[in-house]
């Protein structure tokens, strides 16, 4: 039965009639007539245009230069052993526990 029968919605009567007549089966599904309509996603243009492409390329170049500077930095080199040890610890812990069902 409905969880809140005192709260009447637009399709409450149709739903209650369906629930009353449905067999108690393991595969509960909502009939298409009672399901809300799917939202329509507006069609996107196929191309962003030359200006947007140049801006994206510029942003990509800036991010690549920043990442290269980070990888060459002294702090990146000094923390490399700690990052490597943490990576090995996580890998060994994952192997020991095995795959988890709730991940």
Give the residue from 19, 18, 17, 11 showing the smallest Cα distance to 37: 11
Cβ-based neighbours of 48, under 8 Å, separated by 6 or more? 56
Q: Do the domain assignments include residue 69?
A: yes
Q: Do the domain assignments include residue 71?
A: yes
pTM given for the model = 0.35
Specify the number of domains making up the chain: 2
Q: Do the domain assignments include residue 92?
A: no
1 confidence band (pLDDT: 50, 70, 90)? very low
Whether 32 and 2 map to the same domain: the answer is: yes
pLDDT tens, position by position, 4-58: 656 667 777 777 777 767 666 556 677 777 766 766 777 766 677 888 889 999 9
Furthest CA-CA distance within the chain: 71
Return d(Cα 90, Cα 84) in angstroms, integer: 10
Q: Do the domain assignments include residue 56?
A: yes
Write out the residue range of the structural domain in which residue 6 sits: 1-36
């Amino acid at each position: 039965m409905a969880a809140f029968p005192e709260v009447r919605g637009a399709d409450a009567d149709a739903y209650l009639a369906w629930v009353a007549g449905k067999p108690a089966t393991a595969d509960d599904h909502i009939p298409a007539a009672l399901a809300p309509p799917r939202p329509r996603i507006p069609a996107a243009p196929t191309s962003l245009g030359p200006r947007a492409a140049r801006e994206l390329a510029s942003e990509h170049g800036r991010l690549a230069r920043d990442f290269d500077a980070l990888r060459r930095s002294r702090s990146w080199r000094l923390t490399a052993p700690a990052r490597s040890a943490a990576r090995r610890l996580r890998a060994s812990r994952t192997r020991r526990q095995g795959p988890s069902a709730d991940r």
